[in-house]
Structure 1
Amino acid sequence: MANGLVDGTNYNLRDEIKAYWSERASTFDLSPGHEIFSEKERTAWHDLISRHLGRGEGRAALDLACGTAVVSHLLDDLGFAVTGMDWAEPMLKRARSKAASRGRDITFRLGDAENTMEPDSHYDVITNRHLVWTLVDPPAAFAEWYRILKPGGQLLIVDGDFVNLSLKEQIVAKLSTFFQRLGFASAETAKMSPQLVEIHQNILAQVHFSRGARAGAVADLLVKAGFESVRIDSNLRRIFRAQAKHLGFWKGVARITQHRYAIVATKGGTSLR
């Protein structure tokens, strides 16, 4: 494949996912919804994290699939001792550079979110954003996250269903197309090349949640993995409204109507702290 993406007989889905995100690293921070473009959005993220995890107070947090470390920095803002993990070295290179330029004390490690190689009962908090939909084996990943959390530790997932369009999304898409044809709205330029869009679709067709990562399905798997007090938070509107100002009009409207959510879950037992 072009653009540094490998092709070969031993090239499996995990390799393709890793190569895809490695290729995306150079433009990742250009997209609203990846990087943060306003203090209003940053505050909304802080409020979401604090609402579910509380203040950091030096607690150990692992930010899985950290990418360029956007969520890692949010956790650092709130006083967590943060480790960011990603299996795409180009993402980590940018994450380290960003942390150094901002004077942040964040540790970064190359690793697989489904097999972290971290010690048992090591972290107070685990976070991830837009990771779950890409998982090849969510039950194994959730069992892994349960293992490395301390008793009483918390998991915060932020994700969404990027496959199924709600009725509102379908209406927004049709209106967008209609007004573009009339010349009242311009087509919104995609950040990805056609090849990367094709690779994205190919990956999506093969992962566990190929039919969409619905919040209820994710929550059910977390319960089966042993997590307790599993709660779904669908009220992310403050974040999406802030992002919408930096998206095109129709993409901004669509963002607000999508099935996106946060899920918080707890490992049973008494905290070791």
Structure 2
Amino acid sequence: MREPVDVSAWDAYYAAGRWFRPVMEEERELFRRVVGHGSGRSALDVGCGTGGFAKFLTEVGYRVRGVDCSSEAIERARSNFSDIDGLHFACLNAEGDGWEGLSAYDVISARLTYAFIERKSEFLKDIRDHLNPGGVFHVMTPLSSRLPENRSGIGITAVEVEELCQGWNSVHEYALDAAHVAYTLTV
């Protein structure tokens, strides 16, 4: 079992000017092909970090709320993308804060986030409770089995993949590269 990450550790990570993997063209193309254009529909980007994937979602027509537990990340996201209509950021810990103030969404994404969620079953319940009928949960993550042992903690295990994929109307898995996969799960 992973240790929960202290929010202050994420704040320190972002305060040091660090970033996560940029949104790759393979991810963009896959999302466009599988999930499709937003046409003004709503999206929630959980663990949005500095806002790169949230920005992409607006580029393909979604109205987006990006949330992250790190106030440092949210400040950077707001600073980087304050001029984009339909893109809003809020500080929210997806495990520690209540989801009551959030709406239902057509798409919820968790890019490079799901592996760090400690209480996955509760998180998945919150996701399902906040998806509109026919809504899509889009997850992009490394698989721990495809990573070097010293980095396996940033990926999800086979058991976690099984838990992720249970209880959806449809589940699709797509390889992005040697280590990363994307899942589209529909209610």
TM-score (norm. length: structure 1): 0.60
Distance (whole Å) between structure 1 residues aligned to residue 103 and residue 92 of structure 2: 17
Higher fraction of strand = 2
Alignment of 1:1-273 (within 5 A): 14=4, 16-26=5-15, 27-29=17-19, 33=21, 35=22, 41=24, 43-100=25-82, 103-105=83-85, 106-114=87-95, 115-118=97-100, 122-162=104-144, 164=145, 212-214=155-157, 216-224=158-166, 226-234=167-175, 236-237=176-177, 257-258=178-179, 260-267=180-187
Distance (whole Å) between structure 2 residues aligned to residue 211 and residue 136 of structure 1: 12
Residue 36 of structure 2 aligns with an amino acid whose one-letter code is: G
Deviations along 1:160-215, whole A, 9 cap, x unmatched? Answer: 134x456xx69xxxxxxxxxxxxxxxxxxxxxxxxxxxxxx8xx9xxxx959513x
TM-score (norm. length: structure 2): 0.85
**Secondary structure at the residue paired with 1:47?**
helix
Percent identity over paired residues: 25
Distance (whole Å) between structure 1 residues aligned to residue 91 and residue 155 of structure 2: 27
Q: Which has the higher contact order (CA 8 A, sep 6+)?
A: 1
Using the TM superposition, give the Cα deviation of residue 88 of structure 1 relative to its aligned residue in structure 2, in angstroms: 0.6
Question: Where in structure 2 are there 5+ consecutive unaligned residues?
Answer: none
Distance (whole Å) between structure 1 residues aligned to residue 33 and residue 98 of structure 2: 27
Q: 1:64 to 1:94 in 2, by over 3 A?
A: same
> How many residues matched?
182
* CA contact 1:121–1:150 (8 Å) conserved in 2: no
Using the TM superposition, give the Cα deviation of residue 56 of structure 1 relative to its aligned residue in structure 2, in angstroms: 0.7
Any runs of at least 4 consecutive aligned residues in structure 1 with deviations exceeding 6 A, and if so which? none
Higher fraction of helix = 1
Aligned to 1:7: none
Question: Where in structure 1 are there 5+ consecutive unaligned residues?
Answer: 1-12, 171-200, 238-256, 268-273
Report the RMSD for the aligned CA atoms in angstroms.
Answer: 2.6
Using the TM superposition, give the Cα deviation of residue 28 of structure 1 relative to its aligned residue in structure 2, in angstroms: 2.4
